[in-house]
Amino acid sequence: MLALRIALASAIFLIVTNSVGAADSQVIGADKPTITGAGAHFSWVIFNDLRPALEHKSGRTIHLFGKESMLGMGCNAGIKTAKLNRDDHETFGFVCCDLAREEQSKEGIVLYPIANEPILILVHRSNPITNLSVKQLRALFSGEITNWKQVGGADKPVVVVTRLHCKHRPGHWKTILPDAKQFRQDRLNVKSAAEMVKTVSDFAGGLGHTGATWIFDHQSQVKAIRVGGVAPTAANLAAGRYPFYRQLGAVASKTASATVKSIISQVQTGPEFRDIARKYELVPLN
């Protein structure tokens, strides 16, 4: 079954990159194959915003998958895409988790940290709560506190919504509670940021979490609250005042070309990234 899945992923990758590359190569890098990136949504947003500048500087067409990706979405998809790298089909991936050296060595990839991203604590827009302490939030997520009136809110049950992805990797939601078993058992589990925002919007007593690299539309009924009186900004995160965050990064095969490494380096250190970091309250790591 595993071999079949890998073969299918490889086949999809070749079909997508060949069809996309044929069209895009008429504009940039006509004599060179398209470079493909895929993976975690939040890192994808960064690369997508920077794509015109990256294509201009590299002279290559870059096609990205992440938000609605047939190559898969999430950190695992980013790692799988990076491992599909070949001389004639160059690839890289995006992740929103730190990766241990052991995992990088096992998978034959290299992690390139880009930025730390605040994790927003979301409640329903109608909720009068605008600030909670770290202790209160951990009690809410764990189920020790089950009604908003216990923290000064309305008499409504707390509906905990979680996305506990990448359970065996460090960081991200583990800054809230370090183990999935510590979260409230009768919680709602979702598979994407979009589903997180929608689910918290559906419940007046909703409580959830998501990365700051998210654009909330007029239909979402959520708001981000302060933690310990501190707003989830880059300045507060960099100063160590805001407690919840995760690391965004890129991954590439150990055999990745100099061009792929250069593109990732431009994201890490290029001047265009400073505007993106300000837009999404990110703390650059390079």
Summarize the confidence of residues 15-28 as an average pLDDT: 42
pLDDT value at 25 more than 60 = no
Q: Are residues 77 and 177 in the same domain?
A: no
Highest mean pLDDT among 8-17, 60-69, 136-145: 136-145
* pLDDT tens sequence across 121-159: 999 999 999 999 999 999 999 999 999 999 999 999 999
Confidence of residue 21 (pLDDT cuts 50, 70, 90): very low
Q: Are residues 25 and 98 in the same domain?
A: yes
Residue 20 vs residue 142, higher pLDDT: 142
Q: HSE-up of 19 (CA within 13 Å, CB side)?
A: 6
DSSP state letter for 154:
-
Q: Are residues 151 and 163 in the same domain?
A: yes
Q: Are residues 46 and 98 in the same domain?
A: yes
Q: Which helix (H) or strand (E) holds 193?
A: helix 193-202
Q: Are residues 16 and 59 in the same domain?
A: yes
Parallel, antiparallel, or unpaired for β 245-253 and 109-124? antiparallel
Per mean pLDDT, which range of 61-75, 110-124, 169-183 is the poorest? 61-75
Per mean pLDDT, which range of 4-13, 110-119, 232-241, 243-252 is the poorest? 4-13
Residue 30: predicted pLDDT: 53
Count: domains in the chain: 2
Residue 199 vs residue 70, higher pLDDT: 199
Q: Are residues 27 and 141 in the same domain?
A: no
pLDDT value at 17 more than 70 = no
Cα–Cα distances (Å) from 118 to 20, 223, 236, 258, 261, in that order, read 34, 14, 9, 31, 26
pLDDT value at 20 more than 70 = no
Q: Are residues 192 and 271 in the same domain?
A: no
Q: Are residues 40 and 74 in the same domain?
A: yes
Q: Are residues 127 and 228 in the same domain?
A: yes
What contacts 51, CB < 8 A, 6 or more positions away?
62, 64
Q: Taking the chain, what is the end-to-end CA distance rounded to the nearest angstrom?
A: 40
| Nearest by Cα to 100 from 266, 283, 247, 264 | 247
pLDDT value at 14 more than 80 = no
Q: Output the average pLDDT for the chain.
A: 87
**Domain harbouring 204, CATH code:** 3.40.190.10
Q: Are residues 173 and 105 in the same domain?
A: no
Q: HSE-up of 181 (CA within 13 Å, CB side)?
A: 1
| Nearest by Cα to 143 from 128, 158, 133 | 158
* pLDDT tens sequence across 80-91: 999 999 988 999
Residue 43: predicted pLDDT: 78
Q: Are residues 156 and 140 in the same domain?
A: yes
The phi, psi pair for 207, rounded to 5°, reads -140, 125
pLDDT value at 208 more than 60 = yes
pLDDT value at 79 more than 60 = yes
Specify burial of residue 205 (Cβ count, 10 A radius: 0-12, 13-18, 19+). buried
Residue 190 sits in which domain range? 117-245
Q: What pTM, to 2 d.p., does this model score? A: 0.84
Q: Are residues 99 and 150 in the same domain?
A: no
